[in-house]
Chains A and B, each alone.
Chain A
Amino acid sequence: MNDKYIKNTLNNIKREKLLSITNVSIMTLTFLILGIFITVIAVSQSILRTLEQQAQVTIFFKDDFTEDKILALKDQLSGDERIFNINFVSKEDAYNIFREINKDDPILLESVTSSILPASLEVRAKDLGDLPKLAEEFNQFDGVEEVRFFSDVIGRFKKFSTIAYTAGFVLVFVFFVISYSVVIATLRTTIHSKGTELEVMKLVGATNAYVKMPLIYQGIFYGFVASFVSGALLVFVINIMVHFRAVPVSIGLGFLPNFSISSLLFSFILWFVLILSGALLGFLGSFFAVKRYLKY
């Protein structure tokens, strides 16, 4: 980097204090809104993913299929990549659940014993779309009495969550474009307001680099400061919210079933992405805005 260009950049910023503060404020606000938006989408998709994982297939076993065999089957199924988790519900567990549900109906409780209720495996899939296929496979196993899952509800939920994931990504992309436009328009306005200065510089013999570089550095500086401040604010707020359990401890993305990171790490990645976007936008915005003044 040329010292002279850096000196001129700092002089420009000092000379236009109010404009610099306004620019950085507008850009900080834009990055802050973008960051909040990305966080809200990521958190809502994580919640949706958690809800998806609550959907389950229940395999009920015949009375003569012993608990050992069920547990062996459970171990075997644990190796299946499509399965998120398996929960064994013994006859006693089923009876306890039954008692809990029907605790206000003593006549019904008296008529039922644990031997009547079947043992079962509750299977949750990583991807909601795998549940029907899994249910079909479970039906072929020995000792299976019945495989139950709410195919209609799951089908509709799957459709809804796919739309929600797609809409989330589209919205983030759209908001990225809007933020980029705001930042680029802000930088263009700043540079266009210096039109006479750039014209005079050229007429007295300034080289392209002399005119261009301080403005590009200025753009990068604004972008960096704005994204740094907004990112820092987001890290602070997200971590406060995690502390108060207002957002989940870990965040996943809808389209990546196995992907999940801690909210703390998410906030730092978001900060990094914002800084990168800020500096890049500052560079691109000022580069294109200044280009029109460099036509000799």
Chain B
Amino acid sequence: MLIDFREVTKEYEEGLKALDEVSFAIDNGEFVFVVGESGAGKTTLVKMLIREEFPTSGQVLFEETDVHTLEGDDISHLRRKIGVVFQDYKLLKTHTVFENVAVALEVADTPDDVIRSVVPNVLSLVNLGHKMHSFPNTLSGGEKQRVSIARALAHEPDVLVADEPTGMIDPKSAAEVMEILEKINSLGTTILMATHNKEIVNAMKKRVIKLEHGKVISDKKKGSYE
């Protein structure tokens, strides 16, 4: 099993439960949507997987390792296996598109010649090879999100986690992003995507885990989001 959430509960001090005994498992190569309205717990779930949040109870296993037992540089190594795409892109304004993608490789001490060959490849995978030397402020929302995907893919992660990747872009760009994610999945990368975009989920016909008030209320193969 690649990802295994075991009765994960996250309770904030105010008594508010962001996640309530959430359990599910994801295999290698799957494409899974986590759906639900705003505040359902989707972002907490993503943060839990990359060890940005700690559960109040329960375990999150990645490749059989409890991610919350990791310390120091082991956390960095976990994050290199999980590519994350954020709704607000989190691009560095002072860096070019090339440099933004290269960051993911530089932090892993990748040699410069490897960076020079890998970055153009991932950028062409997201159809941005021609914008390599542009700065983020000259890109559209859809393009920024594709740079974010390229960065997440640069170190060939086992899983790509996308938190509302289409939340800030127009429908046409959203369709392009989904096309890219499907292509990446077909190449073998597991995709876990949190969204509340019903059209996209229903069009893709992939596995759908539905959250409501922090609880999993349904988990269907080839599901939909009503």
Contact = CB atoms under 8 A, between A and B. Distances in A.
Interface residues on B, range: 20 to 34
Nearest to B109: A4
Nearest to A209: B73
Interface of chain A, helix or strand or loop or mixed?
Answer: helix
B107 A197 contact: no
Given A199-B90, A204-B80, A207-B107, 13 more contacts: A4-B109, A196-B92, A200-B92, A200-B103, A203-B52, A204-B79, A204-B84, A204-B151, A205-B77, A205-B78, A208-B73, A210-B76, A210-B107
Nearest to A15: B94
Nearest to A211: B107
A136 to B, nearest CB: 71
Contact of A205 (B80, B92, B94): B80
12 contacts: A15-B94, A200-B90, A201-B107, A203-B52, A203-B84, A203-B90, A205-B78, A205-B155, A206-B107, A207-B107, A210-B107, A296-B51
Nearest to A11: B99
Interface in A194-251: 196-197, 199-208, 210
Interface of B: 50-52, 72-73, 75-80, 84, 90-92, 94, 103-104, 106-109, 151-152, 155
Nearest to A210: B107
Contacts of B77: 205
Interface residues of A, number: 18
A26 B108 CA distance: 35
Interface of A: 4, 8, 15-16, 196-197, 199-208, 210, 296
Nearest to B90: A200
A296 B94 contact: no
A204 B103 contact: yes
Nearest to A4: B109
Contacts of A16: 94
Closest 4 CB pairs of A and B: A206-B107, A205-B80, A205-B79, A204-B104
Nearest to A200: B90
